[in-house]
Structures are given as structure tokens and as C-alpha cells.
């Protein structure tokens, strides 16, 4: 099976880029299943039903999220709708709206989990993953994990903790693609960060001015996604062994287009 995982999509420019690139990629590589990190899809902050539908229409199967999933209040009720394949990190407190993984309704199990180092106070991603994996099994279908975290050490540690128990552990959240794709000894594909779908001339997808001024003045400035110019599309393609659902390969698929 071929699984494409797309990094944090930032705003309208990011969505336009996905619409331009994804259908051709699916054909070119004969991709069976696509995930996309959607926490910044709607004007850089959160998701809306419209932006989710836009991405599902061009071939995305499951949308994962992260700390920004709560930014658009009106979307929160949709997190509990079984027909909408959007998940939020598993290790939020009990009774938080939404689901942390999809398994029964999907040909690939997709788990979303968030890190604690420089991100926030959450339940341990390590013990929560152990718990999740007592309910879902790699022997039945591939299982991929979007670990939404800042520290590369925490991401690498979770990769090793889950080696052989899931098909892939990929990092998201930093918006910076890393060059460390590898298969761990027991068959789990790993990369520290997928990167983003967003403008090249930006700070993590946001207009330079607002983000730079935060650092120059130590005060809040309005952050808006950069919507024009060269756009980066960052993703990884994972090929699985259909017999045991472990990973055979993981490679970066990165593209640039001008919009």
C-alpha cells in the first residue's frame, strides 16, 4: 500500500497548492491513502467545514490536527461527527470533543498525538500510545501516527518506543521539513517533521512582517498566512508490506509551485 502524508497546510495559499498538486501525485505514484495535517488550513488558525470538504474533494482521506484545532469555535461540534474524517490529538484531557484516532472506518488506522516538550501539558504521548495500541493492531491493517510536537528528541523517542507496533511515526507542527526519513529496525517508518504546504517567502507560512515584529517588539502582532509567490508542498510517501503492514520505504515528496 502507498500512503502519502502531507505537512501542515497553511491558509488559502496552502489549500490552493494542495489542489494543484495532489491529484497528479496520486496518479503518478498510484497512492492508495492520503493524510493531511489541517490545523492551519483556515486562515492559518484552525479548520472550517468548507476547508475540510475542499481537501476531501481532491483526494485527502483523513485530516489530522494539533494545538490549533480549537481556533475556529464553529468547527468543534464537527469533531464528533463520524462522517467527517478529522481527528485531534489523542492525549487531551478526558471528555475533550473529538476523536484521537480512526480505525474501524478506515483502511488505514490513523492516530493523532501531541508532544509535551515546549507544546503544553498533556497526558504522556508514550503511555497513551501504549493504551491505544491495546485496541488497534498492526496485524490487521497499517497504522500511521501523526506526532504533533516541537522537540526532535521527543519525536525520535516516540518513534523508537513504537517501532514494530505501528507502520509509521511522522512529526508535524514545526512546519520545517527534515531530511531524516528512515525505517527503524522493526519496520516502522520515521521522519522528524513532514514540513508544511505554505509560502517559501514567509515565517513558517505566515507573512514575514507580523511574525518578525513579534520578535522585534516582544508584543503581539497580527499573523496572516502568506498567500502568494512560491509555495512549498512537503510530504512523505510510505510504502507498506501488504503481508505484515510494516513499512518498506519512506521517501520525501517535496514540490514547489508559483501561485
Please, what is the minimum distance in Å from the beta carbon of residue 158 to Fe ion?
16
Is the CB of 2 or the CB of 116 nearer to Fe ion?
116
Q: What are phi and psi of 74, to 5 degrees?
A: -65, -15
The pair phi, psi for residue 210, each rounded to 5°, is -60, -45
Q: Rule CB under 5 A: choose which of 8, 61, 193, 207 binds Fe ion.
A: 8
Nearer to Fe ion, 16 or 40 (CB): 40
Q: Within positions 52 to 91, which residues make up the interface with Fe ion, using CB under 5 A? A: 66-67
Q: Which is nearer to Fe ion, 11 or 66 (CB)?
A: 66
233 φ/ψ angles, rounded to the nearest 5 degrees: -115, 115
H or E segment at 183?
A: strand 182-183
44: DSSP letter: T
Find the catalytic residue in 68, 148, 173, 175: 68
Within 92-131, the residues that bind Fe ion by CB under 5 A are none
Residue with Cβ nearer Fe ion (67 or 245): 67
DSSP-assigned letter for residue 225: B
CA-to-CA distance for 16 and 224, rounded, in angstroms?
A: 16
**What is the full DSSP assignment across 117-128?**
TTT---S-HHHH
In whole angstroms, the minimum distance from the beta carbon of 145 to Fe ion comes to: 15
Residue 68: active-site member:
yes
Q: How many whole angstroms separate alpha carbon 69 and alpha carbon 120? A: 14
Decide: is 40 part of the binding site for Fe ion (CB under 5 A). yes
- Nearer to Fe ion by C-beta: 147 or 190? 147
* Beta carbon of residue 77, minimum distance to Fe ion (angstroms, whole number): 21
Cα–Cα distance measured from residue 206 to residue 222, given in angstroms and rounded to the nearest whole number: 10
Q: Contact 238/249 with Cβ under 8 angstroms?
A: yes
Which 172-191 positions form the footprint of Fe ion (CB under 5 A)?
173
Say whether residue 51 binds Fe ion (CB under 5 A).
no
CB of 186 to Fe ion, least distance (A): 28
CB of 174 to Fe ion, least distance (A): 8
Q: Which CB, 79 or 247, lies closer to Fe ion?
A: 79
Q: How many residues sit close enough to Fe ion to count as binding (CB under 5 A)?
A: 6
Residues 124-163 that bind Fe ion (CB under 5 A): none
Which letter, b or e, does each residue of 176-190 get, where b requires 16 or more Cβ atoms within 10 Å of its Cβ? Answer: ebbeebebbeebbbb
Minimum distance, C-beta of residue 27 to Fe ion, in the bound complex (Å): 28
Which pairing describes strands 182-183 and 189-191: parallel, antiparallel, or unpaired?
antiparallel
Cα angle 2-144-193, degrees, rounded to a multiple of 5: 95
Among all residues, which ones are annotated catalytic? 68
**Chain residues in the site for Fe ion (CB under 5 A):** 8, 39-40, 66-67, 173
Amino acid at each position: 500500500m502507498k500512503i502519502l502524508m502531507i505537512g501542515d497546510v497553511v491558509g488559502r495559499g496552502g489549500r490552493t497548492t494542495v489542489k494543484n498538486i495532489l491529484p497528479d501525485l496520486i496518479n503518478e505514484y498510484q497512492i492508495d491513502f492520503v493524510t493531511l495535517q489541517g490545523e492551519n488550513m483556515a486562515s492559518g488558525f484552525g479548520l472550517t467545514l468548507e476547508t475540510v470538504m475542499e481537501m476531501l474533494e481532491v483526494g485527502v482521506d483523513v485530516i489530522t490536527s494539533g494545538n490549533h484545532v480549537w481556533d475556529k469555535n464553529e468547527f468543534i461540534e464537527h469533531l464528533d461527527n463520524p462522517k467527517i474524517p478529522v481527528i485531534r490529538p489523542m492525549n487531551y484531557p478526558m471528555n475533550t470533543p473529538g476523536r484521537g484516532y480512526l480505525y474501524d472506518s478506515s483502511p488505514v488506522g490513523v492516530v493523532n498525538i501531541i508532544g509535551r516538550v515546549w507544546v503544553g501539558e498533556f497526558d504522556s504521548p508514550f503511555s497513551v500510545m501504549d493504551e491505544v495500541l491495546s485496541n488497534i493492531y498492526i496485524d490487521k491493517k497499517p497504522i500511521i501516527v501523526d506526532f504533533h510536537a516541537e522537540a526532535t528528541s521527543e519525536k525520535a523517542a516516540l518513534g523508537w518506543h513504537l517501532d514494530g507496533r505501528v507502520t509509521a511515526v511522522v512529526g508535524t507542527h514545526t512546519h520545517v521539513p527534515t531530511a531524516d526519513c528512515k525505517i527503524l529496525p522493526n519496520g516502522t517508518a520515521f521522519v522528524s517533521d513532514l514540513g508544511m504546504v505554505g509560502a517559501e517567502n514567509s515565517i513558517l507560512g505566515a507573512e514575514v512582517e507580523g511574525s518578525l515584529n513579534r520578535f522585534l517588539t516582544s508584543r503581539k502582532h497580527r499573523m496572516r498566512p502568506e498567500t502568494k509567490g512560491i509555495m512549498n508542498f512537503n510530504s512523505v510517501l510510505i510504502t507498506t508490506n501488504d503481508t505484515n503492514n510494516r513499512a518498506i520505504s519512506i521517501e520525501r515528496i517535496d514540490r514547489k509551485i508559483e501561485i
